[in-house]
Structures are given as C-alpha cells and as structure tokens.
Amino acid sequence: MSAAAPSFRLDGRRVLVTGAGRGIGLAIAQACAASGGEVTLCARTASEIGEAAAELRAQGFEAEALVADVTDVAGFAALIAARPAFDAFVNNAGTNRPKPLTEVTEEDYDAVLGLNLRSAIFAAKAVTARMIDAGRGGSVINMSSQMGHVGAAHRTLYCASKWGLEGFTKALAVELAPHRIRVNTICPTFIETPMTEPYFRDPAFKAEVLSKIPLGRTGRVDEVAGAAVFLASDSASLMTGSALMLDGGWTAL
C-alpha cells in the first residue's frame, strides 16, 4: 500500500495567532490563511491587526481581528471563553530587553518574563480549556527561540523566559496528549523583523551573530511561518513535546 501524500492544508480550522500585528506573528497569520485556515489575528494595536485582517479578506481568505492584551490574563481568558474553540494556537507574543545582568531592573524582569512566560502560560491555559471542551484535539505552537536551548551574554532574562517555555511545553504536551492536543515550540535564530533590525545596525553585533550561524545568514519571517503551518497541520500529527529548531545550525556547534 502506498502512503498518502502529506497535507499541509488548514481548511476549516480556526487558528489564533497572538502578536500578529507585525513581524513573525503577521507572517504566520498570512501563511495560515493562505493554507486555508480561518485566522484570528490578535494584538493590542487595533489598527495593525485590523488592516492586516482586511488585506487577507481582500485576497479571499478568512481572517478577523481580535484586539486583546495577553498580559491581562483575566481579560484575555474572558475573550477566549466567549468564542468558539480554536483548532490551532500560535502563542507568539513576546519581547526582549537585552542588557548585562548588572543593569537589569525588576521592571525589566516583569516585562520580559511577564510576557514571554507568564502570559504565554495563561494564554495557553485559556485556549486549551476551550480545545478540551470542544473535544476535537488541536495544536499549540509556543514561540520559543534558539535561546531556549543555549545561553548568550546580555540575554539572561530572555534565555530564562524561553528555557522556561520549553519546560512548560514538554509538561503540557504530556498533560494534553489524552485530549489529542499537541504542544510544540518553534525555536528561531535571529530573524529579520522590526524588533531585531536595530540590533543589526551595530556591525560588531552582526558579525558576531553571523559567526555562530553555519548557514551564514539570519532567517526570514516566511521560514518561521512555514514551520508554524507544518505544526498546525496533519503533517505534524505525531509531533508533540518537541522543539523545531530554525537556527541555521547555531545549536549544532
């Protein structure tokens, strides 16, 4: 018997993407919509996600905007509880404040760990509760980083948040497996986005980064988006509790 061709289609599936106003989140929302998903773009800035959703609809795709702040745990949970269950959740909202530990403040800690870990955990709690209620399985994609597997100077808070997210992902994957809900991470290297662009204005920083990537370049948002579509699709149906490395070989060194 010949094997069936793998499907990366998301037709009829409801997909929620947080941090979808720009950069990686927007690219993932666009790719999921183009793959047939019914995409909900979520972010705090109404104008950004409103325009993005409108553009997708103009192309004939299914897309809507959800204005929400994931750091408002109770408010976000209430919005999710009032909506139909999602089939895939891209837990993407995140931030970074790179600096030496000697300069890190409590406010920096609250901002980075609060969004990257605390909000991600409780957002997953809200979305997976509805998935469990719906009883049809699902896919949770936590946006991690290569920095969830290695260390780097000036990134103590960021590494702490992403290593924590990796542990959370593995534990949740085990917990939700009986409900047929898969939980994985995507771990990019430095990706060309508005958030990373200022860092690469420093030639020394850029040279240091590229020296650690065997492929010799940074990544593009479409390369991350393709991984998200894969994890949301049936082609990843046996994958849970795993980290999908998109690091150009950084962690292979």
Catalytic residues: 158, 162
Place of tokens 């929620």: 16
Cα dihedral sign, 148-33-238-118:
positive
Helix (H) or strand (E) holding 203: helix 203-211
Select from 13, 190, 10 the least CA-distant residue to 86: 13
Burial of 172 (0-12, 13-18, 19+ CB in 10 A): buried
DSSP state of 153: T
**244 φ, ψ to 5°?**
-95, 110
Q: Is there a contact between 70 and 121 (Cβ–Cβ < 8 Å)?
A: no
Pairing of strands 243-246, 138-143: unpaired
- Dihedral, 64, 69, 74, 77 alpha carbons, nearest 10: 30
Cα dihedral sign, 241-78-32-28:
negative
SS3 138: strand
Cα dihedral sign, 174-156-245-89:
positive
